[in-house]
Amino acid sequence: MPRERRRVRYAARSSSMPGNVMLRLSSAIVALLILGMIYTRARDPRTWRWLAEEDGAAPVPVAAIPAQAGSQGTPTRPEELVIPGPTDLDERESPEVQNQFLAVGDKTALDKADMPAYWRLMRWSRAQSFDELQARAAQKVPYTQFFEDPEKYRGAPVRLRLHIKRILSYDAPENSAGLETVYEIWGTTDESQTYLYSVVCPELPPGMQTGTDVSEEGVFVGYFLKVMPYEGAIKRLAAPLLIGRLRSVPRPVVVPVAQLPSWVWLACGAVVLGAAAIGWRLFANAPQRRRVQTAEIDDEEAADWFGQTGGDGTEPAEPSNSDDHA
């Protein structure tokens, strides 16, 4: 009676998702990214500027553009109105000036008691040029020092590099400086960060306009008067009040970076898109992975093979196909 054989079938487990599907999906994602880059580039009006350029029009070289004074972050130097008169070098130690400074109250609104010292500081600043006043001004005084020791800096010249946020003009009352209009400038420094200074000037630099929301750069030199409160957006704050002169600092000119012509970008995009299309076709037409061919093995032979132990410590040989022993 022929021995009944039971077959043990071994088969490789096929993947739940064919490999070529993942390749197609990856190719589609790459193609979409390339199309997005081309679309973004095409939306930029500068990409098509070369189409509107006149024939024979040569670009102006950067070296031919004249440099403006102060283009490296230094203040411009317009003509200044200097009114001859005494300064802090002549009057600071006089009893009259000291009494006026003693009458100034910090962290209080500007009132009549402050005005004699206010207009005296205005006269001092107008009696000197910007450069003369800057030569004696204290540099980089910490913002907190005006609050902690106001008496030390009252009537002393200070220099501030301001990021100007607000400029207001006021009609001046009758005063000893002979001014009809004064300008109130609000701004911050790198050191004060978001905390404001308030400075008052008899005139604005050329080209600087008033407004409640401006973005200007300037250098101020003048005299500290007092710490003055003001209403902030959320709570009541205070700012150092100074009186003096202001010079504007023009923003540095940004030289545009040379760009590749538009046709180069379009050609590169077409090449990459074509390569993605070719890759798509190759992967789409590739045959699916064939399953590993199954092998039929006699169950008794398989059991004998698993039960073997090599005497010399070696692994047993693989069982042969049952069809070879038929």
Which two structure tokens, joined as six digits, stand for 210? 């008033």
Which two structure tokens, joined as six digits, stand for 38? 């081309």
Burial environment of residue 262 by CB neighbours within 10 A (0 to 12, 13 to 18, 19 or more): middle
The H-or-E segment that residue 164 falls in is strand 157-171
Max distance between CA atoms of the chain, in angstroms, equals 138
**C-alpha to C-alpha distances, 250 to 75, 222, 325, nearest whole angstrom:** 7, 20, 98
Look at residue 19 in the predicted model and tell me its pLDDT: 54
Computed over its alpha carbons, how large is the radius of gyration of the chain?
42
How far is the C-alpha of 324 from the C-alpha of 8, rounded, in Å?
16
CA-nearest of 168, 206, 185, 255 to 76 is 206
Look at residue 54 in the predicted model and tell me its pLDDT: 44
Which two structure tokens, joined as six digits, stand for 252? 């540095």
Look at residue 33 in the predicted model and tell me its pLDDT: 74
Task: Say if CB 227 and CB 240 are below 8 A apart.
Answer: yes
CA-nearest of 203, 207, 144, 211 to 178 is 203
Look at residue 282 in the predicted model and tell me its pLDDT: 65
Task: Say if CB 81 and CB 203 are below 8 A apart.
Answer: yes
The size of the chain, in residues, is: 326
Question: If DSSP codes are grouped into helix, strand and coil, which group holds residue 66?
Answer: coil
Look at residue 212 in the predicted model and tell me its pLDDT: 93
Which two structure tokens, joined as six digits, stand for 201? 């000037």
What residue type is assigned to position 7 of the chain? R
How far is the C-alpha of 201 from the C-alpha of 222, rounded, in Å?
9
Task: Say if CB 248 and CB 237 are below 8 A apart.
Answer: no
The string of DSSP letters for 277-289 reads HHHHHHHHHSPPP
How far is the C-alpha of 123 from the C-alpha of 84, rounded, in Å?
9
Taken in order 258, 260, 262, 265, the sign of the CA dihedral is negative
> Full-prediction pTM beyond 0.75?
no
Look at residue 232 in the predicted model and tell me its pLDDT: 82
How far is the C-alpha of 20 from the C-alpha of 125, rounded, in Å?
81
CA-nearest of 46, 45, 38 to 256 is 46
Q: For the chain, 326 residues long, give each residue's pLDDT as a single digit of tens.
A: 454 454 444 444 444 555 566 666 666 777 777 777 777 766 666 666 555 544 444 433 333 333 334 444 555 566 789 999 999 999 999 999 999 999 999 999 999 999 999 999 999 999 999 999 999 999 999 999 999 999 999 999 999 999 999 999 999 999 999 999 999 999 999 999 999 999 999 999 998 999 999 999 999 999 999 999 998 878 889 999 999 999 999 876 655 555 656 656 666 767 776 766 676 666 666 555 544 444 555 566 656 656 665 545 555 555 555 454 44
